[in-house]
Chain A
Amino acid sequence: MSDGDLDVLQRALERERKARRAAEDLLEKKSQELYIANSELRAWSNRLEQLVAERTHEMEVARDQAISASQAKSQFLANMSHELRTPLNAIIGYSEILLEETSDAGHPQYHADLQRIVASGRHLLMLISDILDLSKIEAGQMAVFYEDIDISMMVHEVVETLRPVIEKNRNRIDVQAAPSLGSMRVDITKLRQSIFNLLSNAAKFTENGRITVTAQRAVGQPVDTISFAVQDSGIGIKPEHMRELFVPFKQADASTSRKYGGTGLGLALTARFCRMLGGDISVDSQIGVGSTFTLRLPAQPTDRDPESAHPSLAVAQDGEKDAAQVGTTKSSALDGRSRDREAVLVIDDDPMARDMLSRMLSSEGYEVITADDGEEALRLARDRRPLAITLDVLMPKLDGWAVLAQLQADRDLRDIPVVVVSILSERKKGAALGATAYLQKPVQREQLLGALLTQRTPSIHHVLVVEDDPDCQQLLRRMLEEHGHPSRCAKNGREALSLLAQQIPDLILLDLMMPELDGFSLLDALKADPRWRSIPVIVVTARDLSEDERRRLSQDTEQLLPKGALGRGELLMALRRLSSKRSTGGASNSDVNRRPGKA
């Protein structure tokens, strides 16, 4: 190797060495940059975590605020319910009293006005109830009470309740719900109200047409599906309105409300009830041809705990709220063993007369059983123990007098009030044979109802009214006295206790929300004293009860009457039920009547 070669190699080596050093410097510089970048990243990461923590905290605070706002809203609604229903109760109650007094005293000029006040009051009550229901559903506070029901029977009951409304528009009704459908486990109040809403809509929007109610069972896994279809040949729904059908307060259009009335809440509630029960609702409609609404529900609750269903105190409430919507009717669909105690037996051989009496009675909330001859009548009276009987005199085979005599001769039937309804003018003979009232045909609706309502219930003599609102107190007192039940009044639990110490009443009508000693505390005091323990208590409340409160009341009281729904009829029916229970040995306290309406 020459010197020149060596020189070249040496220079190349030197160059490579320098290059290596330069590379190392560069690496060192890059490392530092990386280190700094890393530190910055870590700082950013920490800052982000801190930000996330702050935001999370802010959201938690916001969530808690929202929850407590929602609770405040619910509480507000419950209070409003009380505040609104209490005066409304007085308005409806006094209007009814005035209505009766003016018709008795012959002031026809006020009659129609008073009827409008009553109808509007009930309409308002319905609105309040529906809005409360909707709010409760939205707030997730609507409880579901499952029980086993006979499907066919329930459908027929709803149809019978609405039959007068259906026939008012000259519609034919066809029911396809065979007893072979069997039973299902469902919240009957919500299901019944749903079918009621659909059917009353069908009746409202159909004239001279046909309405078909069909119940069907589709076998399936894990549970069968029960469908209820309400089909009408009515005006139909425009396609552009279909989407808003189930939206609260949206009726098809403004002109619909003016022509047909209603709140626009019925379908919204129905759809929500269906969803709560694990089912759905669908609609099929064609303008001018008709509409079909179909509910599909599981035959058993699927994803809910069925144990959450417990026998609860029934709320004798407002079938009539929907009735107010259609103007003339209120629901009398009742279930359970006590049903027959609500029934009135109509005995008449003339189908026209039977039909007319039935309509008058069912429009007032009574269930109606009919018999077209005396023998059938006696059989039905024994089997079903009706609340009251209307009796025609001139009938083939066994006539009315003979029926009356046999009723009076039967120890079990003797107490059933009998209103004789005849073309004959033999008031004295009727009274002599034990008739409670005597009406001559043609019978006016008010006469008939008056005769049924004014019967004194025999075994209740003295009533204690515990109520802080003076108007309500007066109203209850007046209703009771009008029908032969003297009463004393206490304006809170403490006063009630001192009155109880003086005299033991046959019945206590109890408000829950009172100053000093409230209704719940009074119930506790009653339970604690052996002298008072067996006094029947009917709770009359405007309060929107919680599930716990309702459960508690179902054990300690005879019946629960929501204040808004408290017409004279309801109160007297409750009294009569109580007295018939007493005279027949009665059912247990928890075996209370369940009526449609809010649970």
Chain B
Amino acid sequence: MTAANMIVPLIITFILLFGLFRRTDVAGEFTTGASEGLKTAAELIPILVLVMTAVGMFGASGASAHLAEWISPLAERLGFPPECIELALIRPVSGSGAIASLDELYSRISPDSFAGKTAAVLMSSTETTFYTIAVYSAAMRKKLGSRVFIAAAAADLTGFILSPLMVRLFIR
């Protein structure tokens, strides 16, 4: 993972050096931008409190495990490994919850098994959709309503359906 770890430090260095090279007031411009960033972050906290409280209660209640049990027969018929259902349910709402769920899955099954690979593809090719929409909506003046959730859900569902198919196609 060394190559991946190089990206962030090199980007930071490059941006600052490029600024110096072009004779930009690097420190002054940085602090102006940074204080705007701080203000934006502070405005996001209230919605984060609401969303994360509800998501946390949902995760702790074990509701996702119950739901996974109900969905499992249908998923199996579609060729979706039942081990990955709970991960698919948690993934759109909680990033840290999904990491915990994947870690727990890998302690039971091998990461190189079919379900293990499907879980990895599913995890990497989708985002914490719900959180992303909440954060971006908080920054908007005009609200988008339900349509943006529908579009994002269509994208997520595509990711869930394609994950096992692509594992079969590319890795087997």
A and B interact physically: no
User: Could you list which residues of chain B lie within 8 angstroms of chain A, going by C-beta atoms?
Assistant: none
User: Could you list which residues of chain A lie within 8 angstroms of chain B, going by C-beta atoms?
Assistant: none
